[in-house]
Amino acid sequence: MVRPALVLPPYPDERWELAKQMGVSDAVIHPLEIGDGQTEWTYDELRGLQNYLEGDGLNFTVLEGSVPLTDRVRLGLDGRDEDIAEFKQFLRNCGDLGIPVVCYDWMGGVRWARTEAHNKVRGDSLSTGFDNEKMEGGPTVPASEKSHEDIFEALAYFLEEVVPVAEEAGVKLGLHPDDPPRESVRGVPRIVNSVENYDRILDVYDSEYNGVTFCQGNFAAMGADIPDTIRHFGEKINFVHFRDVDGDADRFVETWHDAGPTDMHAAMEAYDEAVGDEVPMRPDHVPTMAGEDNSNPGYHFKGRLFAIGYIRGLLDSLN
């Protein structure tokens, strides 16, 4: 069964208290809430943050995005072994502290892509979107020299090195889909963009610690049937991003959680039946609401509180 979680800042403010008032005690630490783009963590930094959270009644459940993973590793470049060694130590540190899930991605060269932040949705709330035509042009991205197979081989090399360490540390890895899940963005190949490619990646090293961050919006943009795909991956799902989009990988708009094309009740039924125990689920990419300045599109807090209520309602409907 899934367990509601929220992206929270690494310092106490009203969002910590609002989370607890919503009945959420699981914190996801994410670079969009860190502010300085931190990707390197010493043991003492992780320990200090964990102590801070636990002292206020919160659990350090997921470290997402802000992990020591470089393009030298993602693209199979010289120096990757040194960077992989750093990632292994990071996993050992997380394991020593009991941080159970690390979410990472394999988007080299061009990272997360959004081209719009002011799409008007329900009640003139503002939603993010992507239009590939608005990404085209500009100088050549050096990473575009790599092929799809080059990038797959780099990921396979990484997994063969780090999954045994994750197993020993007791830290589950969740690979996030490419966002957007296209064959390429700005000419840079992408490989984490289909159910079939995920199957190939999971087969590299068959382990519960080599798992999936099931970002519903990306799987919807792939054209996947969401409930069927949840059941397909089952206990390989180590983390969930609960969201929806209207459109496909070439052009989409983020939706309110209760207003998109996906049957969210059927999705929650699939999670209830298929995933393992205590899998963290966080709402993602919420619209910006009245009174919010849209300075952090998709990540303001009012919409997240609405989404947590919606998630709780769906969970209650199953019981």
Q: Which residues are catalytic?
A: 176, 215, 241, 284-285, 299
CA distance readout (Å), 17 to 3, 59, 171: 18, 13, 27
| Residue 95 near residue 165 (C-beta atoms within 8 A) | no
Q: How far apart are CA 297 and CA 119, in angstroms?
A: 11
| Closest by Cα among 166, 31, 172, 36 to 89 | 166
SS3 annotation, 234-265? HHHEEEEEECCEEECCCEEEECCCCCCCCCHH
* CA distance linking residue 308 with residue 143, whole number of Å: 38
Q: Rounded to the nearest 5°, which phi and psi values hold at 294? A: 65, 25
